[in-house]
A and B are shown apart, each in its own frame.
Chain A
Amino acid sequence: MNPEILFFFEVLLGGLLAGVMYSLVALGFVLIYKASSVFNFAQGAMVFFAVLSFVGFMELGLPFFLALLVTVGLMVLVGMATERFVLRPLVNQHEDTLLMATIGLAFVLEGLAQLVWGVEVRRLDLGIPDVPIMWIADATGIFVSALDLVAGLVAAVMVAVLAIVFSRTKVGLGLRAVADGHGAAMSIGIPLSQVWVFVWATAGIVALVAGMLWGARAGVQFALVGLALKALPVLIIGGFTSVPGVIVAGLIVGASEKLAEVYIGPYFGGGIEGWAPYMLAVLFLMFRPEGLFGERIIRRV
Chain B
Amino acid sequence: MYYRQAGTYRTDYAQDMRLLPLKEDRILLGVVLLAAFAVIPFTASDYWLSAILIPWLCLSLVALGQNILMGYAGQLSLGAAGFMAAGAFACWNFMHRVDWMPFPVAVFLSGLIAAAIGIVFGLPSLRVRGLYLAVATLASQFFIVWVIDKFGWFKDYDSSGIITAKDIVIFGKSFTSPAEMYLVVLTITVVLTWAAMNMARGSVGRNWQAVRDMDVAAEVMGLSLLRTKLQAFAISSFYCGVGGALFAFTYLKSVEPAAFDINLSFRVLFMVLIGGLGTIIGSFYGAGFILLLPVFLNIFFHALFGKAVDATITSALEQVIFGVMIILFMIYEPLGLAKLWQNFQERMRRWPFKF
Chain A interface (Cβ within 8 Å of chain B)?
39, 41, 85-86, 89-90, 93, 95-97, 99-101, 103-112, 114-115, 118-119, 226, 229, 232-233, 235-236, 268-272, 274-275, 278-279, 281-282, 285-286, 289, 299-301
Residues of A near B252 (CB, < 8 A) are none
Q: Is the CB of A281 within 8 A of B323?
A: no
Q: In whole Å, how far is A195's beta carbon from the nearest beta carbon of chain B?
A: 20
- Interface residue tally of chain B, by bracket? 35 or more
Q: Does B268 touch A at the CB level, under 8 Å? A: no
Q: Residue-by-residue, is B308-331 near A (CB-CB < 8 Å gives 1, otherwise 0)? A: 000011001111111111110011
Residues of A near B150 (CB, < 8 A) are 268-271
Q: Is the CB of B326 within 8 A of A107?
A: yes
Q: What are 6 A-B contacts with C-beta separation under 8 Å?
A: A90-B331, A99-B134, A104-B324, A104-B326, A274-B142, A281-B135
Residues of B near A274 (CB, < 8 A) are 142, 146
Give Cα distance in the complex from A131 to B58, angstroms.
Answer: 49
Q: Is the CB of B139 within 8 A of A278?
A: yes
Give Cα distance in the complex from A278 to B142, angstroms.
Answer: 8
Q: Does B199 touch A at the CB level, under 8 Å? A: no
Residues of B near A271 (CB, < 8 A) are 146, 149-150
Which chain A residue has the least Cβ–Cβ distance from B312?
A119
Top 4 closest A-B pairs, CB basis?
A104-B326, A111-B319, A107-B323, A108-B323
Residues of A near B313 (CB, < 8 A) are 115
Q: Residue-by-residue, is B323-346 near A (CB-CB < 8 Å gives 1, otherwise 0)? A: 111110011001000000000000
Give Cα distance in the complex from A84 to B325, angstroms.
Answer: 16
Residues of A near B266 (CB, < 8 A) are 103, 107
Q: Does B296 touch A at the CB level, under 8 Å? A: no
The number of inter-chain residue pairs (CB within 8 angstroms) is 132
Chain B interface (Cβ within 8 Å of chain A)?
74, 76, 123-124, 127-128, 130-132, 134-136, 138-139, 142-143, 146, 149-150, 214, 216-217, 220, 262, 266, 269, 273, 312-313, 316-327, 330-331, 334
Q: Is the CB of A278 within 8 A of B143?
A: yes
Q: Is the CB of A89 within 8 A of B323?
A: no
Q: Is the CB of A89 within 8 A of B320?
A: no
Give Cα distance in the complex from A168 to B269, angstroms.
Answer: 41
Known: A86-B331, A108-B319, A229-B138. 13 other contacts (CB 8 A): A39-B130, A96-B76, A100-B330, A103-B266, A108-B323, A109-B323, A232-B135, A271-B146, A272-B146, A274-B142, A274-B146, A278-B143, A285-B135
Q: In whole Å, how far is B131's beta carbon from the nearest beta carbon of chain A?
A: 4
Give Cα distance in the complex from A39 to B337, angstroms.
Answer: 25
Q: In whole Å, how far is B97's beta carbon from the nearest beta carbon of chain A?
A: 22
Q: Which of B124, B135, B138, B331 contacts A101 (CB 8 A)?
A: B331
Q: In whole Å, how far is A86's beta carbon from the nearest beta carbon of chain B?
A: 6
Q: In whole Å, how far is A186's beta carbon from the nearest beta carbon of chain B?
A: 19
Give Cα distance in the complex from A235 to B130, angstroms.
Answer: 14
Residues of A near B316 (CB, < 8 A) are 110-112, 114-115, 119
Which chain A residue has the least Cβ–Cβ distance from B272?
A100
Q: Is the CB of A282 within 8 A of B139?
A: yes
Which chain B residue has the least Cβ–Cβ distance from A114?
B316
Residues of B near A226 (CB, < 8 A) are 262
Residues of B near A109 (CB, < 8 A) are 323
Q: Is the CB of B127 within 8 A of A289?
A: yes
Q: In whole Å, how far is B84's beta carbon from the nearest beta carbon of chain A?
A: 17
Give Cα distance in the complex from A275 to B220, angstroms.
Answer: 36
Which chain A residue has the least Cβ–Cβ distance from B325?
A104
Residues of B near A85 (CB, < 8 A) are 327
Q: In whole Å, how far is A288's beta carbon from the nearest beta carbon of chain B?
A: 9
Give Cα distance in the complex from A106 to B269, angstroms.
Answer: 14
Q: In whole Å, how far is B55's beta carbon from the nearest beta carbon of chain A?
A: 21
Give Cα distance in the complex from A131 to B76, angstroms.
Answer: 42
Residues of A near B74 (CB, < 8 A) are 96
